Amino acid sequence: MTERWDVRAVLLDMDGTLLDTERVYFDSLISALGAFGYTDDVETLCHAMVGLPGPDCEAMLHARYGEDFPLPAINDAFIARRDEILGAGLPLKRGAIELLDALQGSECPMAIVTSSSRRTADAHLTLAGIRDRFEHVLTRDDVTRGKPSPDLYLLAASTLGVRPEFCVAVEDSNHGVAAAYAAGTITIMVPDMVPPTDESRARCAAVVDDLGKVVEMLRTRGVLRSKFLRRPGEGRDP
C-alpha cells in the first residue's frame, strides 16, 4: 500500500518546470557569446548555469573569461535573442495545465518559487497565460541568497503558513533540487535539459518524466482530493 503524504502546499519552480524556457535561455546565451567570439566549450558552461540565479551565472562568466569580459554587451545580445524567440510565444511544459487544474480543483495552496527576477517572472507567467493562477510568486528579488540556497523555499513555505516538511516542491534542475531538499520539502524532480545527478536522485522522493506523472503521484499519495481540507484543529502552521 502506497504511503500517504501529509501535504498542505505545493511549491513550483518556473523555468524548465512549468515554462519551457530553459532551452530559450540556453540557445540565447550561446548565440550572444558566439557573436562576440566566445565559442570554446560554451555548451558545457551554459549547462552548468541551468537553475542558477542571474548574478551567479554572471559570476561564472567572469570566472571563465576574466574581468574584461564584456558583460553588458553580452547581456544586451542575450536579451535581444531571447525576446526574438519569445516573440513567437512561450510554451508550457507538458502536463503543466493538468497539474495546475488539479491543484486548484483540490484547493491546494501553491506558489511559484523561481530564480528569475520579479519582472521576468511576472512577464513570462503572463506571456504563458498563467499569471492569474498564482497569488504568491517568490523570486530571487525576495532573498539575499538564491538557489541552491534553501532561502527561497523557506520563504515560500512561511508565506503560505506551512512548515517546509508539509510542502511538495517540484523542480527540474539539480540546483533547484538542492535548494528544495535543504529546505526540508518533499522534492519531486522533472528533469529538463540537465539529467539528475546521483545526489539529486537520492534527495528526491521521485524523479519522473513529466508533470502529468507528478499529478498521478500526488493523487496516489492522497494530496489531490475533491476538496483540500485540513483536519479539525490543524489551522496554519506558524
pLDDT of the residue at 53: 80
**What are the tens digits of pLDDT across the range 70-97?**
999 999 999 999 888 888 788 899 999 9
Q: Does residue 233 have a pLDDT over 50?
A: no
Q: Does residue 55 have a pLDDT over 70?
A: yes
pLDDT of the residue at 54: 82
Give 27 or 50, the one with higher predicted confidence.
27
- CA dist 128 and 201 (Å) reads 29
Mean pLDDT of 172-197: 96
pLDDT of the residue at 1: 52
CA 111 from centre of chain: 11
Mean pLDDT of 199-219: 97
- C-alpha cell belonging to residue 68: 574584461
**What are the tens digits of pLDDT across the range 96-150?**
999 999 999 999 999 999 999 999 999 999 999 999 999 999 999 999 999 999 9
Mean pLDDT of 184-189: 98
pLDDT of the residue at 226: 53
pTM for this prediction: 0.81
Q: Does residue 177 have a pLDDT over 60?
A: yes
